[in-house]
Homo-oligomer: A and B are copies of this chain.
Amino acid sequence: MLSPQAVHNGETPSPHHRILTPQFHSTVTLRKLRRFNSLILVFRLAAFAFSLASSVFMVTNSRGSDSPHWFDFDAFRFVFAANAIVALYSLFEMGVSVWEISTGATLFPEILQVWFDFGHDQVFAYLLLSADSAGTALAKTLKGTDTCKASNSFCVQSDISVALGFAGFVFLGFSSLLSGFRVVCYIINGSRFHL
């Protein structure tokens, strides 16, 4: 089950890495790295769950032809799209984390992996915050208008969707902190190992 990258990253450490972490340290280091990766996995799972729930709440927010639809509002379309993107991305990153925990090696080459994770975490965190803020502003504006008077459940469901999106943003932000830490470790040590 070991890919070429796995062999490159896990089995034969690079010379640079070998200098910094002597052989007798490697078991402890691996165990600590696994614990760190498990923490990332938990954050990814939470971000996935919340953003998936948010997009599902938004996409099911239509009740017959005479009530308002979520896709009639730009900001709600933005909320759905951003949450769906983050859910897909988190699912992919969960797979990457599970792969790394089980094989001890990164899916992509190590330098690409740490920068890929951090860069996408940052960009998607901004995207999700922007979408959720726009959704909040729209939801607040709709309160007291005919739309909410005609179908109060539509407005409540929109509120829930936006709130779930904010929860997803918080966990994506935590993931971003940890992946930023891995980038700094990589820059310092020439390896994602933080010991």
Contact = CB atoms under 8 A, between A and B. Distances in A.
Contacts of A187: 184, 188
A11 interface: no
A137 B75 CA distance: 6
A129 interface: yes
A184 B129 CA distance: 26
Interface string A105-139: 00000000000000000000110011101111110
A20 to B, nearest CB: 13
A141 interface: yes
Nearest to A79: B137
Contacts of A141: 75, 137-138, 141-142
A140 interface: yes
A96 to B, nearest CB: 23
Interface in A75-114: 75
Interface string A181-194: 00010011000000
Given A133-B129, A133-B134, A134-B133, A75 B140 contact: yes
26 contacts: A74-B137, A74-B140, A75-B137, A75-B140, A125-B126, A126-B129, A129-B129, A129-B130, A130-B130, A130-B133, A131-B133, A133-B133, A133-B134, A133-B137, A134-B134, A134-B136, A134-B137, A135-B137, A137-B137, A137-B141, A138-B141, A141-B141, A141-B142, A184-B184, A184-B187, A188-B188
A182 to B, nearest CB: 13
A181 to B, nearest CB: 11
Contacts of A136: 134, 137
Given A75-B137, A130-B133, A138-B141, 19 more contacts: A74-B140, A75-B140, A75-B141, A126-B126, A126-B129, A129-B129, A129-B133, A130-B130, A134-B134, A134-B136, A136-B137, A137-B137, A137-B141, A138-B138, A141-B141, A141-B142, A184-B187, A187-B188, A188-B188
